[in-house]
Amino acid sequence: MPKCNIGEQGTNIRRDDKLTLPVRKVHMIVKKKLLSILIVLVITNLLTTVFLIRTWWANHLWEEEMYGVAGYAATIQALNDYKAGTCRLYELAEDGEHKFTGRHDGSFEIWYRPYYSSLGKPGQYTQQVFVDAYNSKMWYMYEHPETFKAHLDDSFVEK
């Protein structure tokens, strides 16, 4: 049997070099792909985080705006009701009607203030703010009647 001496025929290539050269290339390709995937994941996570923060902030601004608008509307309604001699308090009712409950709390009639569940949490939140602000203003006016005086132009002014 003839011997095969590959390394002795004038070339300086060893068998180990032939095997390790492609493995190094494979490792480099894998490293590049892993790095690319990592970069894509980092960018995706950053964009998702930015989107979530932006959504949270928009929701926060919306809540603040609705708090102010509903509170203002409730205060005006309470002032008008107080001027008309109506002593009422509201409680929230899901998908109900705006009507008298048949109950009293001292001099106050208790009325239902409906919210519609189809509008979700924003609708309920807005109506709850209205109810809280209205009841608070009505109680304050009831406890301090000397503070609120009607003028000829039918508006109220605090002393």
What the block records as the tokens of 96 is 């109900």
What the block records as the tokens of 2 is 């003839």
Cα 91 from Cα 97, distance rounded (Å) = 11
Q: Is the pLDDT of residue 6 over 70?
A: no
Q: Does residue 35 lie within any of the structural domains?
A: no
What residues make up the domain containing 91?
A: 68-158
The more confidently predicted of residues 4 and 116 is 116
| pLDDT tens for each residue of 135-152 | 999 999 998 888 776 533
Output the pTM of the full model: 0.65
| Predicted pLDDT at 94 | 87
Cα 36 from Cα 42, distance rounded (Å) = 10
Of 139, 143, 125, nearest in space to 78 by CA: 139
Q: Does residue 62 lie within any of the structural domains?
A: no
100-105 and 156-158 beta bridge pairing: unpaired
| Predicted pLDDT at 62 | 87
| Tally of domains within the chain | 1
Q: Does residue 117 lie within any of the structural domains?
A: yes
Spell out the long-range contacts of 139-144 with Cβ–Cβ below 8 A and sequence spacing 24 or more. 139/89, 141/78, 141/79, 141/82, 142/82, 142/87, 142/107, 142/108
Q: Does residue 30 lie within any of the structural domains?
A: no
| Predicted pLDDT at 4 | 53
| pLDDT tens for each residue of 80-123 | 998 888 899 999 998 888 899 999 998 899 999 998 888 888 88
Q: Does residue 112 lie within any of the structural domains?
A: yes
